[in-house]
Amino acid sequence: MMRFLQGLGAAVVALLAVLPAIAGAQNISASTLYLEQTETQFSLNIPNDTSGDVFIYFTSPAYSWVGVGFGEEMKNSLMFIMYPSQNGNNVTVSTRIANGHSEPSHYADANLEILSGTGIDDEMFVLKAVCHNCRVWHNGFIDVKNTAHPMIYAFGPGNALQSNSLNAPLKRHVRYGKFTMDMEAARGTGGVPAATSAANGVELQGGMRRDHDRANLAHAVIGCLAIFVLWPLNVIIAGFFRNIKIHVGMSVSILVFLIIAFALGISTSYEYNRSKSFTSGHQILAFIALLPILAISLLPLRPLSALSPLIPRLHTCLVTLTLVTLTITGGLGLHLSSQSRPIIIAYAAVSLVVVCFSTLLQTCIKRRGSAYARHTTRQRLGEEDEQDLVLAAFYANRKLEGGESRSESEASLRPTAGVAGAGHERSPSAGSAKNIYGGGTMPGPQYLLNMHPGVPVHRW
């Protein structure tokens, strides 16, 4: 019985010791943001003393990252950003500042002290912290007397980010919003605010907005269209179309697509810390790819192509080199943008198919000769096209039906020299047609003589 009374007394003493702390926590002044859609709470306490500290209670679903900032916009705002640690069992909290509408960088001058109770609990980020030297920063400060201090919040995409680095790369936010916070309501006895679902001293500025990274998406889509659709189609056109203008037009279209993709890629590079300096493999290889693209564009020019017969032969090699370089560049771009493994594997498979198809087709075209090259070769050797011969015979028959004498039409179709042989005269009379097999319009023994169809062949 005595042991029971002693244990009961100890429990009462412990409870009496905890009650003041609980009462103090409940009496801590705080301004609180609470978003019902995500059950996100951000509470702020500003002590009345001269320490300059700021106490924070911050909880939100464990997305890839979530952040709250002091300011009207991202530029020059001091932000508190949370994301999972490397092992996924704890939370990494990074104080950051952005110099524009871009990924914020770690702000090392803020001294954030993480307190007990911080971590990931039931798939929710929980932050209990006191920030020393956080009321003033470069180009910004917390106005502790402002009853409507501008604030911002944002949520990252759903894919997981796990890192212990305070400057870990962040993907663009998918949802964001603005609100104002009453700093007078947050002033009082210093301490971490309690968890609550009731907003206090906060007014939302519109609803939660959805964000789209359209420029980055357009950069990827336009680049893939140029490489995986227009490029192999242009190889087919070069091999099987006699009209070189179609090939030139498609080549110009590919060049325009690539220029647009390059421009979009450069513009989006300034939005992320990992690409601002243009030192990633994706960016370096993209600039290297400009050299063979420029060479392909300039080599067909007559002043250059006339310098050496070897110059036109470089075209196929440069095309293959450019295609391989661009496909590798795209793969490095997916890695730079932190895309998922299935997307990278699918890209690699499509790239392998396109490169193999284009290389095989170019090899066949090189051995056989393109349709344009074969056509120009026949014209240079003075050979006539079979279609032109058929049309000539057709118009000759039309003339015969229109009343023209047969002898005149035969004379027009008859070669001027070297057909009947030396020393044999031809009679212009109508009876000479009997000496021509097929009347000069149907194929005959000329195939044996390696002559063109439709050419009159005489009997001796």
Lowest mean pLDDT among 22-36, 375-389, 409-423: 409-423
Asked if 442 and 456 count as a contact pair (C-beta separation under 8 A), the reply is no
Predicted confidence (pLDDT) at residue 289 exceeds the cutoff of 90 = yes
Site of tokens 């509470």: 43
CB atoms within 10 A of CB 365: 18
pLDDT tens digits, 229-277 = 999 999 998 888 878 889 889 999 999 999 999 999 999 999 898 898 8
Task: Give the pTM.
Answer: 0.69
**pLDDT above 60 for 141:** yes
- pLDDT given at position 23: 43
Beta-strand ranges (E) seen in 71-223 are: 78-84, 91-97, 105-106, 111-114, 119-120, 124-132, 136-137, 140-141, 149-155, 175-181, 187-188, 202-204, 209-210
How far is residue 373's CA from residue 395's CA, in Å, rounded to a whole number? 29
**What mean pLDDT is predicted for residues 126-144?**
92
Give CATH 2.60.40.1210 domain extents, the chain: 25-210
Residue at 390: amino acid letter: V
Tell me the mean pLDDT in the region 160-188: 92
User: Which H helix or E strand runs over 168?
Assistant: none
Mean pLDDT, rounded, for 446-459 = 48
Query: Please, where are the H alpha helices in 187-299?
Result: 214-225, 231-240, 244-269, 281-288, 290-298
Those residues whose C-beta lies under 8 Å from the C-beta of residue 244, and which sit 6 or more positions away, are 372
CATH number of 214-379: 1.20.120
The whole-number pLDDT of residue 388 equals 57
Res 118 pLDDT > 90: yes
Residues in the chain: 460
Domain 25-210 has CATH 2.60.40.1210: yes
Instruction: Give, as one character, the DSSP assignment of residue 156.
Output: -
> What stretch(es) of the chain map to CATH 1.20.120?
214-379
Query: CA-CA distance, 344 to 220, in Å (whole number)?
Result: 13
CA distance linking residue 154 with residue 141, whole number of Å: 20
Beta bridge partners of 300: none
Q: What is the per-residue pLDDT across 201-228, written as a single tens digit (0 to 9) for each?
A: 999 998 899 988 889 999 999 999 999 9
Query: Above 80 in pLDDT, residue 382?
Result: no
The per-residue pLDDT for range 6-53, each reduced to its tens digit, is: 555 555 444 444 444 444 445 788 999 999 999 999 999 999 877 789
Q: What is the mean pLDDT of residues 395-413?
A: 56
Higher pLDDT: 278 or 389? It is 278
Burial (CB < 10 A; 0-12, 13-18, 19+), residue 362, is buried
Tokens of 272: 């992320």
Block residue for tokens 């609100």? 179
What average pLDDT does the structure give for the chain? 80
Average pLDDT in the 155-182 region? 90
The amino acid that residue 131 corresponds to is: C
Would you say residue 373 has pLDDT above 60? yes
Q: Per-residue pLDDT averaged across 402-407, rounded?
A: 52
Residue 128 CA to its chain's centroid (Å):
39
Question: Looking at per-residue confidence, does 382 or 145 come out higher?
Answer: 145
Q: What is the pLDDT of residue 187?
A: 92
Q: Which residues contact 252 (CB under 8 A, 6 or more apart)?
A: none
pLDDT of res. 129:
95
